[in-house]
Amino acid sequence: MARRKLSRRSCSVALLDLDPQGSLSLFCGLAKPAEASQSISSVLSEDFSGNWPLAPCWSSFKLKVDVCQSLQQPLLKTADDLVSHPRGPYLLADRLADYPLPHDVIILDCPATLGRLNLIALGACTHVIIPIQLEPKSASGAAELLEFYFIECRRLRLNPYPPVLGIVPNQYRPSQAIHNEILQQLPQVLKNLQLGDARCYSPIRFSYEFSNASGAGLPLQLYRKTHAACQDFQEIAADISRLIGAK
């Protein structure tokens, strides 16, 4: 999700973890926060005063990346509290408007199970990217997500709807017939849904090195920068760069 249109030679990125599983902490090589005040839950609390609990990551590589981590139980409680909050689905959008982050790009990591945390992400985002594993069950889940998107955008009266940049097929194995079959169907699915300029990105290939990189707390591009799969992300990176006017 890109938030700003800027013209800079490099981008600063904030990652906001709305997934109670806290996978961003593992992915970024960060220890989980010791208490709720150091997590995204504090941002969504009534007494938040603008002090975003951001932890820098990969700074040794001279990257401008900060993470707002999650803790499972506090975030689940926050999700329950959103039911009775008068601004529940718009709470994250309110925080970003009242206490804007200085980063060029803000990425919201959402839980796979559709619920209240996905709603506050939808209320705050400017663009949507949908990852999809090339398996029948995952393809069905992506269809449910798109149905959720249309229903909730209408219910929240978002105007305009945050555009869907595209679908990102991942864990692609070209030797598996079902992967190729689903991959061939995706462009027509997008066309039928009338998602404007949304595109089906080139698939991200399967590699055990993704798991190895996550175990090391690094993205693949830092863990093994010469790995062929690093090239699979160029289309997405180029589109986001165009959105914010960066190189």
What's the rounded mean pLDDT across residues 61-89?
A: 92
Residue with tokens 């504090």: 42
Percent of the chain with pLDDT over 90: 68
For the whole model, what pTM was predicted?
Answer: 0.89
- pLDDT confidence band for 196 (50 / 70 / 90): confident
How high is the pLDDT of residue 246?
A: 53
How high is the pLDDT of residue 94?
A: 96
How high is the pLDDT of residue 99?
A: 97
Whether pLDDT at 29 is above 80: yes
- pLDDT confidence band for 38 (50 / 70 / 90): very high
How high is the pLDDT of residue 142?
A: 76
Written out in words, the top-level CATH class of the domain with range 12-244 is alpha beta
How high is the pLDDT of residue 3?
A: 42
What's the rounded mean pLDDT across residues 43-62?
A: 94
Contact 78, 41 (CB under 8 A): yes
Largest separation between any pair of C-alpha atoms in the chain: 53
Domain ranges, ordered by start, for the chain: 12-244
- pLDDT confidence band for 8 (50 / 70 / 90): very low
Neighbours of 209 (CB within 10 A): 15
For residue 195, give both structure tokens. Answer: 């998602």
195 versus 220: which is more confidently predicted? Answer: 220
Pairing relation of β-strands 64-68 and 105-109? unpaired
Counting every residue written for the chain, the total comes to: 247
For residue 76, give both structure tokens. Answer: 């689940």
Lowest mean pLDDT among 6-15, 39-48, 122-131: 6-15
143-185 confidence digits (pLDDT tens): 788 889 999 999 999 999 999 999 999 999 999 999 999 998 8
93-137 confidence digits (pLDDT tens): 999 999 999 999 999 999 888 889 999 999 999 999 999 888 887
Rounded-to-integer distance, Cα 24 and Cα 32, Å? 10
What's the rounded mean pLDDT across residues 196-222?
A: 93
Rounded-to-integer distance, Cα 205 and Cα 169, Å? 9
